[in-house]
């Protein structure tokens, strides 16, 4: 019995020793030099977190919070303030605490930080925010080498207009396994000239980690915490690492889900968020579970329980290299009248930089569901949002790809179809077609492979010459495809097919193509 008591006391003592107190100030950095000076005043009621607990600064801007080896201390950006940015335009809002450094790994982690400093101070700069703003959203840049980093720069970064948004976020898989490419990725992103937030993806992890908590050491060295939050206008953003690695089921690969400390952070964080704010979750893997195969359902259920009291929520994810709109209602464990919307964003790498090259020398890389590669604008107005998808290298109004035969024989009975791939579409959308300004008719929703994509895919088989570049991936069913029979009993001649689609936000999009009827 004495041995048990002694062992318990020793364990308690070791926990107390490991858990230290971090102290400091969140202050108004009037000269923007990143150093707290005597005349610079603290800012009250700013939230500070260790990745689990959340505390507020006092009237003088002072905070105190426990900090354990392996945790990262960070500030939750309040409204009307900005963080200072580093040379890569990444917000400076955190302190990695690793007294003896990260565990040994193939890729560089965090160097030993030693003992906690007497004060860890965080700078904020006043900034006039509007409740109406736009954010750029990138899915999977995922470059596997420097050549693909250049494709990312030439095909995406170079066309980004910094005047059209106030910040941007990349939704994971910033690179493809080689974590030394995080630096070239940062060098590319800084050219945009906007504050940029980053999410960890399954290809940004330390694959030699023995436990999940160590799988993000290189990411945290390069970008800061993998779990954090920030405010802008009437929107509260929560960034999450939702990749469990190694997979707790068999110790191999990965599984979508959350650790207990992450769920506690979300719970503690949301205690400080008004119920009338929009909650936006940014995570790499979609929440869709496929009967638990892709995502641990219990974790998703707990997340949904935490969000249930907030009427306005949104998830942003990537990972799939397709584009889709997902909704989670009561049948999926979300106990709220209004379903939770997840926008699974198309990727900036498209189909992993596959296919022939365009005029810029960049692979066309259309995704497997027929969505061209690109990025999204998320427009916020108070606690509401709308989304615009921008196809890389194309006009902003290119939102539908229309596929139809180029020429058909005149016949009473048509066996020919027109297909409309509406990039931001979902099954409940209304999509119409008209031939040469005749009456508008409804098209049929078709959950199938996109024939336009398949026709490109099979060029690699029928070409007399070996095709340049990498063959695209095999097609998969699109969630935003519609079809209709086209008339072939009209007089011989050329006809224009017009397509009209109304999306989730009530916006109308148009597309068209031409076909001929011959004898």
Asked whether the predicted pLDDT for residue 75 surpasses 70, the reply is yes
Residue 192 has phi, psi (to 5 degrees) of -65, -35
Number of folded domains that form the chain:
2
Same domain, 379 and 411: no
Same domain, 299 and 217: yes
Same domain, 216 and 349: yes
For residue 111, the 8-state DSSP code is P
pLDDT top residue among 27 and 412: 27
| pLDDT for 6 | 38
Q: How confident is the model at residue 292 (pLDDT cuts 50, 70, 90)?
A: confident
Q: Is residue 258 part of a domain?
A: yes
End-to-end CA distance of the chain: 99
Q: How far apart are CA 411 and CA 405, in angstroms?
A: 14
Could you please report the per-residue DSSP string of 321-381?
SS-EEEEE-GGGT--SSSPEEEEEPPPSSTTTT-S-B-TTS-B----TTSPPSEEEEEEEE
Strand partners, 436: none
Q: How far apart are CA 337 and CA 388, in angstroms?
A: 26
HEC per residue, 112-181: CCCCCCCCCCEEEEECCCCCEEEEEEECCCCECCHHHHHHHHHHCHHHCCHHHCCEEEECCCCECCCHHH
Same domain, 379 and 513: no
| pLDDT for 42 | 98
| pLDDT for 13 | 41
Q: How far apart are CA 425 and CA 400, in angstroms?
A: 9
Q: How confident is the model at residue 14 (pLDDT cuts 50, 70, 90)?
A: very low
End residue of a domain, out of 341, 358, 391 = 391
Nearest to 51 by CA among 171, 220, 222: 220
Q: How far apart are CA 219 and CA 212, in angstroms?
A: 13
Same domain, 352 and 484: no
Q: Is residue 454 part of a domain?
A: yes
Same domain, 188 and 268: yes
Same domain, 223 and 198: yes
Tell me what the mean pLDDT of segment 194-198 comes to.
99
Please work out, in degrees rounded to the nearest 5, the angle formed at the alpha carbon of residue 260 by the alpha carbons of 254 and 262.
Answer: 80
Q: Is residue 13 part of a domain?
A: no
For residue 48, the 8-state DSSP code is E
Q: Is residue 145 part of a domain?
A: yes
| Residue % of the chain over a pLDDT of 70 | 97
Same domain, 414 and 376: no
Average pLDDT, the chain: 95
Q: Is residue 176 part of a domain?
A: yes
Nearest to 478 by CA among 375, 370, 400: 370
Cα 292 to Cα 27, 168, 241, 324: the distances in Å are 45, 31, 18, 19
Q: How many other β-carbons are positioned within 10 Å of the β-carbon of residue 454?
A: 16
Q: How confident is the model at residue 290 (pLDDT cuts 50, 70, 90)?
A: confident
Same domain, 56 and 197: yes
End residue of a domain, out of 343, 371, 391 = 391
CATH number of the domain at 176, please.
3.60.21.10
End residue of a domain, out of 360, 391, 422 = 391
Q: How confident is the model at residue 5 (pLDDT cuts 50, 70, 90)?
A: very low
Tell me what the mean pLDDT of segment 469-480 comes to.
96
Q: Is residue 54 part of a domain?
A: yes
Asked whether the predicted pLDDT for residue 16 surpasses 50, the reply is no
Burial 93-111 (b: 16+ CB within 10 A, else e): bbbbbbeeebbebebebbe
324-328 vs 340-344, strand pairing mode: antiparallel
Helix, strand, coil percentages (3-state) for the chain, rounded to 5, are 20, 30, 50
Contact 28, 43 (CB under 8 A): yes
Same domain, 276 and 192: yes
Nearest to 426 by CA among 380, 359, 481: 481
| pLDDT for 12 | 42
Asked whether the predicted pLDDT for residue 8 surpasses 50, the reply is no
Q: Is residue 159 part of a domain?
A: yes
Tell me what the mean pLDDT of segment 282-310 comes to.
96
Asked whether the predicted pLDDT for residue 3 surpasses 60, the reply is no
| pLDDT for 18 | 62
Asked whether the predicted pLDDT for residue 378 surpasses 60, the reply is yes
Q: How many other β-carbons are positioned within 10 Å of the β-carbon of residue 439?
A: 7
Using one digit for the tens of pLDDT, what is the confidence trace for 399-447?
Answer: 999 999 999 999 888 889 999 999 999 999 999 999 999 999 999 999 9
Tell me what the mean pLDDT of segment 88-105 comes to.
98
Same domain, 353 and 404: no
Domain range holding 235?
A: 20-108+134-391
CATH number of the domain at 408, please.
2.60.40.10
Element (H, E) at 17: helix 2-18
Q: How far apart are CA 65 and CA 63, in angstroms?
A: 7
Same domain, 443 and 512: yes
């Amino acid at each position: 019995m004495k041995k048990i008591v002694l062992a318990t006391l020793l364990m308690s003592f070791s926990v107390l020793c490991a858990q230290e107190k971090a102290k400091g100030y969140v202050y108004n950095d009037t000269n923007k030099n990143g150093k707290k000076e005597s005349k610079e005043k603290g800012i009250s009621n700013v939230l500070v977190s260790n990745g689990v607990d959340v505390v507020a600064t006092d009237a003088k801007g002072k905070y105190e919070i426990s900090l354990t080896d392996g945790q990262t201390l960070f500030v939750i950006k309040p409204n009307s303030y900005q963080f200072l940015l580093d040379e890569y335009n990444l917000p400076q809002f955190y302190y990695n605490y690793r007294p003896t450094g990260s565990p040994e790994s193939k890729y560089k982690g965090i160097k030993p930080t030693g003992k906690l400093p007497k004060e860890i101070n965080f700078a904020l700069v006043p900034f006039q925010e509007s409740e109406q703003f736009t954010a750029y959203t990138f899915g999977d840049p995922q470059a596997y080498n420097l050549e693909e980093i250049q494709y990312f720069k030439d095909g995406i970064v170079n066309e980004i207009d910094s005047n059209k948004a106030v910040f941007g976020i990349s939704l994971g898989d910033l690179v493809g396994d080689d974590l030394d490419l995080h630096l070239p990725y940062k060098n590319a992103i800084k050219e945009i000239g906007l504050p940029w937030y980053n999410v960890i993806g399954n290809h940004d992890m330390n694959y030699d980690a023995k436990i999940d908590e160590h799988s993000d050491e290189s990411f945290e060295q390069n970008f800061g915490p993998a779990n954090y939050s920030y405010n802008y206008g009437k929107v509260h953003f929560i960034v999450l690492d939702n990749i469990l690695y190694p997979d707790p089921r068999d110790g191999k690969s990965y599984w979508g889900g959350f650790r207990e400390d992450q769920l506690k952070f979300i719970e503690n964080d949301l205690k400080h968020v008004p119920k009338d704010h929009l909650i936006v979750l940014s995570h790499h893997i979609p929440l869709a579970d496929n009967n638990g195969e892709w995502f641990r359902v219990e974790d998703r259920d707990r997340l949904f329980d935490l969000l249930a009291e907030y009427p306005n929520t949104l998830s942003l994810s990537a990972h799939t290299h397709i584009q889709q709109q997902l909704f989670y209602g009561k049948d999926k464990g979300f106990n709220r009248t209004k379903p939770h919307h997840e926008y699974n964003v198309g990727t900036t790498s498209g189909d992993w930089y596959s296919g022939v090259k365009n005029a810029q020398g960049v692979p066309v890389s259309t995704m497997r569901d027929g969505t061209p590669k690109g990025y999204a604008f998320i427009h916020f107005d108070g606690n509401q949002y709308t989304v615009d998808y921008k196809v890389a290298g194309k006009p902003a109004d290119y939102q539908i790809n229309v596929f139809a035969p180029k020429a058909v024989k005149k016949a009473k009975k048509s066996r020919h179809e027109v297909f409309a791939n509406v990039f931001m579409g979902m099954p409940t959308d209304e999509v119409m077609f008209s031939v040469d300004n005749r009456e508008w008719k409804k098209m049929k929703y078709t959950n199938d492979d996109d024939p336009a994509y398949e026709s490109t895919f099979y060029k690699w088989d029928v070409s007399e010459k070996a095709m340049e570049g990498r063959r695209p991936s095999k097609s998969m069913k699109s969630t935003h495809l519609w079809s209709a029979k086209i008339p072939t009993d009209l007089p011989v001649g050329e006809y224009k097919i017009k397509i009209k689609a109304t999306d989730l936000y009530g916006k109308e999009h148009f597309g068209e193509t031409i076909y001929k009827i011959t004898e």
